[in-house]
Amino acid sequence: MKKAVTGARIFDGTAFRDGLVLVVDGDRIEAIARRAPHDAEIIDAAGKLVVPGFIDLQVNGGGGVLLNNDPSLEGLETICRAPARFGTTALLPTLITDRPEVVRSAVAAGRAAKDAGVPGFLGLHLEGPHLSLARKGTHDPALIRPMDAADYDFLIDNAGAFGVGLLTVAPESVKRAQVSGLAGAGYTVSLGHTDTDYATAREYVTAGASMVTHLFNAMSPLTHREPGVVGAALSEGALNAGLIADGFHVDRAAMGIAIRAKLGPGKIFLVTDAMSVTGTDLQSFELNGRTIYRKGGRLTLADGTLAGADTDMLTCLKNCMALGVALEEALRMASAYPAAAVGVTSKGTLAPGLDADFLILSEDLTLSATYIGGELAFSA
């Protein structure tokens, strides 16, 4: 049965459209029309906003499950279900640096999730293990290693099999030829956890890298004589960059500077870097045999090293608006921009023929409902 969302201001990804109706047929958007079809189920959203669902490209866990600890179909189902209550309708479950057998299990689970059509599952983000020890962050240094021929062949053999594939790598551990081959196979290659210099970062952009993972964090900084990876992210139009806008990973002033400075067409988009505590009351969890503690809105190792984030996309969006970012642009940072960054054309905006992933928000941006593929996934 068709659904018609009436009475709301509709943000289609470009602009707000007033006095219209969002018509959904099955799992797709049929139209943004002047009136509801006579045979449609009416969803009354009077006085509210209808916006594209949020797309999060870095989600390590949720609902009590960390992908590293449960790289299974059931684990992915739980992780994908948890952030719907915060407005996320599509995500890349993210595997932090781990043993080769865990990587293979996660990829096998990703293939199963894609085949099963798990709601919200977009693909996988493999963050490591081919990173820099100098910028390891919370990644276990004993598990970080260069990409060898077997690693490369495994990724090439599985390209496209688990949906969208996002790879975070460091030039210190991955050759330019490998980046070119992986990008050519359809992977989005992102530079992250790297201490490489600006010139080398640009060389890897030429080789096929098109993204930077969690801007400012675990990368060479922007300085006046060596712009580093941060400088490359802001000055290279070919690069998109994820931003953890929780107020802890990046100072609010730095967030504003980066958003204003970014050279297009690449964009800065929002990510959460969420961990297993999302949607739970858990106060700690384990990663690679180490305890991560939850306190005061932060997740840290015992030594205080940040270990993922205790935030959600809606909070990050509001934090950007507090910096002066317009609502329309903040919404794009949470939906259209991440979709474009990984080449997804069926999500991120509201238009006929696209996936019916959308949110109903109150005027104060409180989430009322989340729809994934035209089905209610969360209701307040």
- Which residues carry a binding-site annotation for substrate? 138, 217-218, 225, 249, 306-308
Checking phi first, is residue 370 left (phi over 0); if not, alpha (psi -120 to 50) or beta? beta
DSSP 70-104: --SHHHHHHHHHGGGGGTEEEEEEEEES--HHHHH
**What DSSP state is assigned to residue 141?**
G
Torsion of CA 259, 260, 265, 271, to 10 degrees: 0
* 310, 272 contact by CB (below 8 A): no
Binding site for Zn(2+), residues? Answer: 127, 193, 214
CA distances from 245 to 106, 249, 265, 309 (A): 27, 7, 21, 10
Question: Which residue, 252, 369, 370, 264, is CA-closest to 318?
Answer: 252
Residues 6+ apart with CB under 8 A from 224: none
Q: How far is CA 347 from CA 43, 108, 160, 264, 339, in A?
A: 21, 24, 18, 21, 6
b/e map 89-103, b = 16+ CB within 10 Å: bbbbbbbbbbeeebb
Handedness of CA 30, 32, 36, 40 (dihedral sign): positive
Q: CB neighbours (10 Å) of residue 227?
A: 20
Q: Where in the sequence numbering do the catalytic residues fall?
A: 273
Given the structure tokens 């598990």, which residue do they identify? 143
Taking the CA of residue 161 as centre, how many other CA atoms within 13 Å lie in the half-sphere pointing to its CB? Answer: 14
For the chain, the helix, strand and coil percentages under 3-state DSSP, each to the nearest 5: 30, 30, 45
- Map residue 152 onto helix, strand or coil: helix
